[in-house]
Amino acid sequence: MKSAVLVFPGINRERDMARTLRLVCGHEPAMVWHADTTLPAGTDLVVVPGGFSYGDYLRCGAIAGRAPIMDAVRAFAAKGALVLGVCNGFQILCEAGLLPGVLMRNSQLKFLCRDVYLKVERSDSPFTRGYNAGQVIRVPVAHGEGNYIADAATIARLEAEGRVLFRYCDPNGNTDLDWNHNGSLNAIAGIVNERGNVLGMMPHPENHVESAMGCTDGRGLFAGLADHLARAA
């Protein structure tokens, strides 16, 4: 497994992501600067990490979504290769046109930094094969703009095509307004593109992978990816 973590000015979670990839997948990822125009040869997985790319100016992810490296990422995704965007990475993938919809300011207009519960909607995806369908996991969020919005037709299509992989829920897996912390439509926390090879999600699974962190629920995502790529090799 050869992964690449994109680095934009203002990103601050790239080292967390690199550490997790090294820890769970056993390989050191390449760190790829935003001004580069190509990905390292043989890359299996591109990760767009969280942070505040370009200080969140214009809109979150708007500038990074148009960075030079993103043409290479779009070409990479078009081949069916795996792309994961977390938090600001999700916003960047939406701005880059790789995922539909937009992440608006949280409905309560407050920055959220806490653990949330997610229901894994399906396990037959490269990103969720490390979980069981219906499993509830606990992972942290840290964002001011995670309120997923799309037009009604897009939401209907996402739901009909099973493209919602993660949904905010209570500890028992019930979707409830009180547990949909940022107000996302249909409690959406993570979606994939039509081909299922590009995932964007607001929570940070990379921050719950070691017992020292108090929880290892995020580990399944990366272990599943490593397993998927090992089988594909």
Partner 1 sequence: MPLKGPILAFGLAALASVAPSAPTDPSSTMGAERGGPAWSETKWPFLLDQWGTGRAYRCPAAACGVETNLYLRAKVGFCNCETGVADDAEVDRVADVELLGDRYVPAGDGRPITVGWMRGRSRPYSLEIARGARRVLAVAFNDKCDVVVATVVAERELPAGAEGAALAFLNGNQVLQWAKAELGAQ
Residues that bind partner 1 (CB under 8 A): 12-13, 50-52, 56, 87, 105, 107-111, 113, 142-145
**204 an active-site residue?**
yes
**In the complex with partner 1, which residue's Cβ is closer, 58 or 230?**
58
- The catalytic position among 34, 181, 204, 208 is 204
**How far apart are CB 142 and partner 1 at their closest, in Å?**
5
**In the complex with partner 1, which residue's Cβ is closer, 122 or 143?**
143
**87 an active-site residue?**
yes
**In the complex with partner 1, which residue's Cβ is closer, 57 or 195?**
57
**How far apart are CB 109 and partner 1 at their closest, in Å?**
5
CB 29 within 8 A of CB 21: yes
Place of tokens 């056993």: 26
**60 an active-site residue?**
no
CB 164 within 8 A of CB 202: no
Residue 186 to residue 177: CA distance in whole angstroms: 9
**How far apart are CB 108 and partner 1 at their closest, in Å?**
5
CB 114 within 8 A of CB 146: no
Place of tokens 């942290």: 140
**In the complex with partner 1, which residue's Cβ is closer, 55 or 162?**
55
**How far apart are CB 110 and partner 1 at their closest, in Å?**
7
CB contact set of 215 (below 8 Å; sequence gap of 6+): 115, 138, 139, 208
H-type alpha helices, the chain? 14-20, 69-78, 88-95, 152-160, 219-232
Catalytic positions: 87, 204, 206
